[in-house]
């Protein structure tokens, strides 16, 4: 009798457990266990995956968090923005959902008819179907303070005329992230700046940025280097970039700037002079800056060009034998190479050196994502691989 009573108690407890709704903490899972994922978004310590039906899964790797984030009830998601401690999701009906500080959740709850989300480390914006823009700016740590995210906290560095605030924009067809803020582009290709404007604002095709440096690519194949804020720019580097023509892609580091031309050649400069180390590069299909002052060029034959920095011999020796590279992913001091067979290798620049991520067992990878802390691979079968950056200090 006692055994039967004990068994019934266990059965009742199990049934009760299955009926209790999962808490947000229960909804968080490890990305390495995910299946059937078709898209990923990665923030500094948040990884979000989407299933083909538009539902989301979250891997929250924050060491310290005021409250858990919950996206388990979100449906029909078409796009996501991930930051340090918040997540925005765009639904197919144009509604925006948010997980994070209460002020953020309250603000975006009324946003509707949205067709694009765009975010940076400081600002984010939502483009509406009628060409107008929703916008929030400020330090996410203080969003629950009502006065914390209305304006920039650096009035000397950022001059913000009334006609440059995104709330006044009309006729916008695309949003582009640029450094700490978001830019709008209207149907004629004109740039709608926030805070500050470059010398030329027409026919903008793309923006590259690193720290406080903005580089603009125009539809006619020319470029413009611009440093908003209080500190002055170098006339030499601006003049060098202004002379470039025939560009299809640009890359900007803190101390090196480059443009990929239509014929597969590369032009570049550093802070003060033309950078002639890339004059011999040919058949390049992709350029990336690494560690502020290094430049990578992916060739048509799947090999890499490498130039710049104080640690060129060590890093070049490591990557010289790499071939059949399909894509390169760069973040901060490291980069990862995705090979045509779906395998991945990584390397770090500077004093960190070595291989920052353990990816020797990775295979069937079709796309790479990541942050300074994590490298994430999306596989052809919808599974997800995650590696931690071993070069970072605890």
The DSSP string of 93-118 is: TS-EEEESSHHHHHHHTT--SEEEEE
C-alpha distances in Å from residue 224, one per residue of 144, 153, 264, 278, 284: 38, 27, 20, 19, 21
pLDDT digits (tens, 9 = 90+) for 209-263: 876 678 999 999 999 988 765 445 567 677 788 899 999 999 998 788 999 999 9
pLDDT digits (tens, 9 = 90+) for 121-159: 778 899 999 999 999 875 555 555 444 444 434 433 334
Q: What's the rounded Cα separation, in Å, for the pair 258 and 279?
A: 11
SS (H, E, C) 306-340: EECCCCHHHHHHHHCCCCCEEEEEEECCEEEEEEC
Q: Any idea which residue has 């590069």 for tokens?
A: 281
- Give the pairing type, strands 172-178 and 181-186: antiparallel
pLDDT digits (tens, 9 = 90+) for 358-374: 999 999 999 999 988 89
Q: What's the rounded Cα separation, in Å, for the pair 263 and 273?
A: 23
**pTM attached to this predicted model:** 0.83
Residue 221 — φ and ψ, nearest 5°?
A: 85, 10
- Give the pairing type, strands 172-178 and 294-299: unpaired
The answer to whether the beta carbons of residues 181 and 122 sit under 8 Å apart is: yes
pLDDT digits (tens, 9 = 90+) for 60-93: 998 877 778 999 999 999 999 998 888 999 999 9
pLDDT above 80 (res 29): no
Q: Any idea which residue has 């580091």 for tokens?
A: 253
The answer to whether the beta carbons of residues 77 and 115 sit under 8 Å apart is: no
C-alpha distances in Å from residue 143, one per residue of 74, 86, 148, 165: 22, 11, 6, 19
What would the two tokens of residue 376 be?
């994430």
């Amino acid at each position: 009798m006692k055994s039967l009573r004990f068994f019934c108690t266990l059965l009742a407890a199990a049934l009760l457990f299955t009926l209790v709704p999962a808490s947000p903490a229960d909804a968080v899972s490890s990305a390495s266990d995910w299946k059937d994922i078709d898209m990923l978004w990665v923030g500094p310590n948040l990884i979000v995956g989407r299933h083909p039906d538009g539902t989301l899964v979250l891997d929250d790797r924050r060491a310290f968090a005021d409250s858990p984030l919950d996206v388990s009830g979100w449906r029909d998601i078409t796009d996501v923005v991930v930051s340090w401690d918040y997540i925005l999701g765009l639904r197919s009906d144009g509604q925006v959902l948010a997980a994070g500080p209460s002020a953020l959740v309250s603000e975006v709850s009324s946003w509707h008819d949205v067709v694009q989300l765009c975010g940076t480390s400081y600002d984010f914006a939502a483009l509406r179907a009628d060409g107008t823009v929703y916008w929030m700016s400020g330090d996410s740590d203080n969003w629950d303070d009502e006065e914390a995210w209305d304006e920039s906290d650096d009035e000397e560095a950022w001059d913000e005329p009334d006609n440059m605030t995104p709330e006044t924009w009309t006729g916008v067809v695309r949003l582009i992230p640029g450094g700490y803020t978001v830019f709008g582009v209207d149907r004629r290709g004109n740039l709608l700046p926030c805070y500050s404007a470059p010398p030329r604002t027409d026919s903008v095709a793309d923006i590259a940025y690193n720290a406080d440096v903005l580089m603009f690519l125009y539809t006619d194949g020319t470029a413009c280097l611009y440093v908003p804020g209080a500190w002055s720019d170098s006339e030499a580097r601006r003049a060098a970039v202004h002379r470039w023509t025939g560009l299809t892609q640009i890359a900007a580091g803190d101390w090196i700037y480059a443009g990929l031309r239509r014929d597969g050649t590369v032009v570049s400069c550093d802070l003060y002079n033309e950078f002639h180390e890339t004059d011999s590069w040919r058949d390049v299909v992709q350029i990336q800056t690494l560690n502020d002052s290094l430049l990578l060029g992916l060739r048509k034959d799947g090999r890499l060009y490498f130039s710049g920095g104080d640690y060129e011999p060590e890093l070049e020796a490591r990557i010289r034998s790499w071939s059949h590279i399909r894509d390169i992913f760069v973040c901060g001091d490291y980069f990862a190479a995705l090979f045509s067979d779906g395998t991945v290798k990584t390397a770090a620049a500077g004093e960190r050196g070595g291989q920052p991520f353990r990816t020797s067992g990775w295979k069937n990878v079709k796309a790479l994502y990541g942050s300074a802390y994590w490298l994430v691979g999306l596989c052809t079968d919808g599974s997800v691989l995650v590696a931690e950056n071993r070069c970072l200090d605890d």
